[in-house]
A and B are shown apart, each in its own frame.
Chain A
Amino acid sequence: AQSVTQLGSHVSVSEGALVLLRCNYSSSVPPYLFWYVQYPNQGLQLLLKYTSAATLVKGINGFEAEFKKSETSFHLTKPSAHMSDAAEYFCAVSDFNNDMRFGAGTRLTVKP
């Protein structure tokens, strides 16, 4: 079965610093990969997705992720953190039938 592992349950960065949230996947078929963000007391919303087109995927709010098949990774980055980026981030992998498996999540804290 497919799965994702998010390295680091908590990440803390200073405002203006690089954000790097790590995600590794396991899948026996070409994966579809997603990053979602959850703000406090809200549901999840999509940041970006990879569906076998370009390996560098750009999302909303300045985030991007790169699909690296050789490393089975799909890390999320943002060059400069903003206070409003503080949230929980989930990496997810899906098969063709949309059976989506989520990682445990990484809580991002942004310090002023």
Chain B
Amino acid sequence: DADVTQTPRNRITKTGKRIMLECSQTKGHDRMYWYRQDPGLGLRLIYYSFDVKDINKGEISDGYSVSRQAQAKFSLSLESAIPNQTALYFCATSDFRASGTPDTQYFGPGTRLTVL
């Protein structure tokens, strides 16, 4: 089984709809991240969480919200989806406690979201 899973893998929705993307991990890592990938722009950080009670905005948080329901679960919500949120979304995890330094981030397989 994959260590970092994302659901759904593909989603098509309409402008104005509320969407939730979910991420689960079995790696026991403390930190979790949400990124979006757009062609020619690489990956941009939306939100990251150091633990259940510590949520931080990333580079492009406007229009998004997150919830860290448990150490293993981190969900991303689009309250009112718009077409320019069409992108590939990745969840990632890392284990800061073990290394004490910025550590490898482990990525899920991605969710392809299309907003019509």
Contact = CB atoms under 8 A, between A and B. Distances in A.
Interface of A: 6, 9, 32, 34, 41-46, 49, 51, 90, 94-105
Interface stretch (B13-21, B66-74, B77-85, B99-107): B99-107
Nearest to A45: B107
6 contacts: A44-B43, A44-B90, A98-B33, A100-B33, A102-B43, A102-B44
B34 interface: no
B102 A90 contact: no
A97 B42 CA distance: 20
B64 interface: no
Interface of B: 4, 31, 33, 35, 40-45, 48, 58-59, 90, 92, 94, 96, 101-105, 107-110
B41 A104 contact: yes
Contacts of B102: 32, 51, 94-98, 100
A104 B40 CA distance: 5
Given A43-B109, A98-B31, A98-B94, A103 B42 contact: yes
Nearest to A46: B104
B101 A100 contact: no
A6 B42 CA distance: 10
Given A32-B101, A32-B102, A100 B107 contact: no
Most buried by A among B96, B104, B105: B105
Contacts of A97: 102
A103 B43 CA distance: 7
B48 A99 contact: yes
Given A43-B108, A43-B109, A90-B42, A99 B101 contact: no
